[in-house]
Amino acid sequence: MDSANCFTYLLLISFLLVGSWFCAIEAQRSAPIVNGLSWTFYNSSCPNVESIIRKQLKKVFKEDIGQAAGLLRLHFHDCFVQGCDGSVLLDGSASGPSEQEAPPNLSLRKEAFEIIDDLRELVHKGCGRVVSCADIVAIAARDSVFLTGGPDYDVPLGRRDGVNFAQVNQTFVDLVGPDANTTILIKLARKNLDATDAVALSGAHTIGIGHCTSFTDRLYPTQDPTMDKTFANNLKLTCPKSDTSNTTFLDIRSPNKFDNKYYVDLMNRQGLFTSDQDLYTDKRTRGIVTSFAINEKLFFEKFVLSMIKMGQLNVLTGKQGEIRANCSLRNSDNKYLVSVTEEEMGSSAEMR
């Protein structure tokens, strides 16, 4: 295809995508939510919950914008393993190691857990113990997107906190590693997510960092042919050996801004992980990557829809689970728990 025809082709796609964007807006307004969740769940019991969280996160990100990626990733790792039940926040106990101790979760930022604890304390101080840790994680993830330049959107709320954490082996099954190919990513459909969702959610890599050990197999002993040579040479300066403990940005164009430049990176063969670059290499998802790269509004709309879908995976609602007094401890493990009966909490939820 010559340059003139290529330009015409891209222009045509752009017009088509604008139409798709308006359709996505309508879809977002009517996004289905599971029984037990609500767009207005805390309107009476804790109407300021979202403003409390956003105000605090503005302070946190002013000091260190990198924490946004850590909070967003925490939500992903919570939802994909056992559902969005806050189980990733639990410490280990006599019954076994926590999800945090599973190898795929070892790189989760310790500060992210501390930030969630701080948010929980602020929210419970303002409203009492009515907001679950799982909901706090979901709201913090949304604000991490918005406060770094991404779209703002409503989050359906009403999740309850799980009382069990997943087995270590389950985290390997449910979390996608950096060396995964597109076929593995597409298998996310088993969780009611499709290929478009997989590509859109991967766009979370537009912010954050990656550890050298997660991608040096693409550099040593031989360079991955799908990686741009200049990009690879620059990475070798950061990661001179395969076991280097250094880190680098996931998105070289705008590392601290939530935008569509991640997809531009992929089109230029500058995706950091195999799981990133293969989205453009694989013909099944290349068109989706291209559409997001040339139309940021479309990416934002699809990302929002995918986040809303992901945020409802296997949620606990109603009288299921609990509302933890401490996000890292089940209430039965908390020696300093102020007694509030589950029946009272259930009645409070029903009133909403």
Size (the chain), residues: 352
Annotated catalytic residues are 77
Residue 2 annotated as part of some ligand binding site: no
CA 25 to chain CA centroid, nearest Å: 21
Annotated binding-site residue? 259? yes
Q: Is 64 annotated as a binding residue?
A: no
Task: Tell me if 179 is assigned to a ligand binding site.
Answer: no
Is 205 annotated as ligand-binding?
yes
Q: Is 251 annotated as contributing to ligand binding?
A: yes
Residue 197, annotated as binding a ligand: no
243 labelled as ligand-binding?
Answer: no
Q: Is 78 annotated as a binding residue?
A: yes
Q: Which residue in the block uniquely carries the two structure tokens 């601290």?
A: 256
Residue 51 marked ligand-binding:
no
Q: What residue numbers does the annotated binding site for heme b cover?
A: 205
Q: What residue numbers does the annotated binding site for Ca(2+) cover?
A: 78, 81, 83, 85, 87, 99, 206, 251, 259
Q: What residue numbers does the annotated binding site cover?
A: 78, 81, 83, 85, 87, 99, 205-206, 251, 259
